[in-house]
Structure formats: C-alpha cells, structure tokens
Chains A and B, each alone.
Chain A
Amino acid sequence: MHEYALMQALMDRVGEEAAARRALAVHRIVVRIGDLSGVEADLLESAFEIVRAGTMCEGAALEIERVPATWVCSGCGQPVPSGGRLQCGGCGFPARLAAGGEILLGRIELEVP
C-alpha cells in the first residue's frame, strides 16, 4: 500500500508550508487524483486517518478530487475512448493520456495568526 508513503510525502509538504506561515492549524487539504494514477482514494483516506493523529492536520478535512482518464490522439488530438485499443481510429497514432494520471496537491486552508 503505497498510499501511506504518499500520504507521508503529502503531510511533509503541508507541514513545510504550515511552518513557513507559522500556521496554528490546517483545516482543509485538497488533492487531485487521476483514475489512472495508481492511487486509490479510499486507501489515501485511510492513510490520512493514521498519519494525521497528533499533527497540525488532526482536525483537517481531506478533499479528494477524482480526475477521469482522458485519452487523446498524440497526432491529431482527437479523443480516443478508454477501454478500447489506445490508438487513434483516424490516423493510427498512439493515444496520449491528457488527464487522469495526476497525483497532485492542490489547495490547503490554514489558520494563521
């Protein structure tokens, strides 16, 4: 379960930012997770429950925005449907993942003095 390691990296980054701003608490953490990122939202939430104990994020809400996979042709840019062969029906070029691979930290809400 790499979600735990991922959450640890997330907490480190949030902790850095909170320290730099002398924050008193973290209220909200927004992340964007692509459906083809290899990260499970449920497991990320479970990991958050474990790692936040005793930290500034103890009372924070974790908001996970899911990003559906979107493939487009690497040649002509036309959409290529998921589920089928990942090749453009028009020009035969391989598809490129335009969205859905994200493992991103978005916005955080801090309580600052």
Chain B
Amino acid sequence: MCEYCGCGDPHRVSVDLRGEILAANDRQAAHNREHFAAHGVLAINLMGSPGSGKTAVLEATAAALGSRARIAAITGDLETERDAERLRAAGIPARAITTGSACHLDAGMIHEALHDEALHGASLLVIENVGNLVCPAVYDLGQDFNVVALAVTEGEDKPLKYPVMFRKADLVLVTKTDLLPHLGLSLELLDDAIARVMPAPAVFRVSARTGEGMDRWFAWLDAHLASRPGPDRAHAAFGHRHG
C-alpha cells in the first residue's frame, strides 16, 4: 500500500489496444478521400522505382488529356523540385513535397499540399510518390487508385521481389516499351510474375516517348473521370475549412 495516499502499489495491467498502427495516417487519408469525393477529383497515387518513367507518363498525359481534364500534381522526392518543374513546363500545376530523408509520402503531407491554391480546380490529381517500390505501398493517401509504373528495363522479376507494391496496385503501367528491341526482356514472363503478386492483374504496356499503348491509359483515366461528378457540381476544389 502506498504510504502517501493509499492508492496501492504499482501493478501491471494488460491493455488490448487492437488497432492499426497507422490509424492516425488512415484517419487523415479518409479525410483526404472525403475532399476528393466532395470536389469531384479523381486522385491517383502513382508509384514506382526511381527512373521508372512516372514523370514522363504524366507529361504525355498532360499533352493528351489537357483539353478535357484539369490535371494537377503533387510530387514527392527526397530533394529538389525537378519533377514538379518538369510537370509545370508540361502545363500541369504541381506542388513539390521534398521529404528530406523520408522514403514515402503520408496522408498528412498530402493534406497540407492540398491547401496550395495552384492545385485548386483540378479534376485529376496525380500524386507522384517518392521513387521507391517498398515504403509508399504502406501508406494510404486517400487516393482512388494506386497505379504502379514499372519500366521494362527493371527486369521480369521485379514484381516477385516487391510483392506488396503490386498487391496494392489497381493498375500497372509497363513503361518504356520502345526500349524492348534493345533488351532481352520477356513480356510473357513479366505478365506471369505480376499475376503471382497481383490478384486481378490490370497491365497496360506503354511508351510515353512514342505514344504506343498510351491510348489505353488515357481511356482508363477518361472512364474514371467520367464516373466522377462533373465540374459544374464541383466547386473550388480542395478549398475547405476545418471546424
């Protein structure tokens, strides 16, 4: 017994917390998702290795869809605003998040970036995640779809080596197919590897450089944009207050 207040000696208790370790991130992601839905924004989390061609795909997407979709982007890199600068040059308002040493974007970073007025009014928001096939897969950002860019130069076995990323993917863009004549890559083996880590494989083979195969990607975006509320119903996208 404690001699001061009679509260009893310290003792051990077991508490069952039973919850997601990333519950705080998940709450923030749900909040982002509500914003996207309320403002009629299609949000894509574009992931992939460094150099997998994410930015090039977006540049080509801007050129093709620019007249029928208002595209904005958030880019994540450890250092520099280079990707954001490339996208701005392609006509996409872009906000760069430099993470310092963090290997992924989280939902809180996205929420903060959404307050950037340059992004307001978008109908398609692409979050170009930090180039990394591991960490970004763990964090929900509030996106509608996860799209993974995988360059043909990465080899057939990448999906088997990084199964979590492909398990979370809704669509895989096999990029840089214009380089295939210079490589010994088997697209059949690559498809097979994807099917072993992605339950419902959706794969488009594209070349942002030549435009080959990009129509399927544009049609996929068009279809999902069409299933969102139109621009009339969406007001100044992302502009919001917190109570």
Contacts and interface: CB of A to CB of B under 8 A. Distances in A.
A101 B22 CA distance: 13
A36 B164 contact: yes
Tell me if A's interface is mostly helix, strand, loop or mixed: mixed
Nearest to B7: A113
Interface residues of A, number: 41
Interface stretch (B12-20, B58-66, B180-188, B217-225): B12-20
A54 interface: no
Interface string A13-44: 11001000100100100010000111100000
A39 B139 CA distance: 11
Interface in A79-113: 83-87, 94-97, 101, 103-113
A10 B17 CA distance: 11
Nearest to A5: B102
Given A38-B138, A95-B199, A112 B11 contact: yes
B118 interface: no
Please indicate which of the listed interface residues A1, A2, A6, A112 has the most CB atoms of chain B within 10 Å of its own CB. Answer: A2
A49 interface: no
Contacts of A105: 17-21
Nearest to B9: A113
Contact of A107 (B16, B21, B198): B16
Interface string B1-34: 0100001101111111111111111000000000
Contacts of B135: 1-2, 38
Nearest to B167: A36
Interface of B: 2, 7-8, 10-25, 102-104, 106, 134-135, 137-139, 163-165, 167, 192, 195-200
Interface of A: 1-2, 5-6, 9-10, 12-14, 17, 21, 24, 27, 31, 36-39, 71, 74, 83-87, 94-97, 101, 103-113
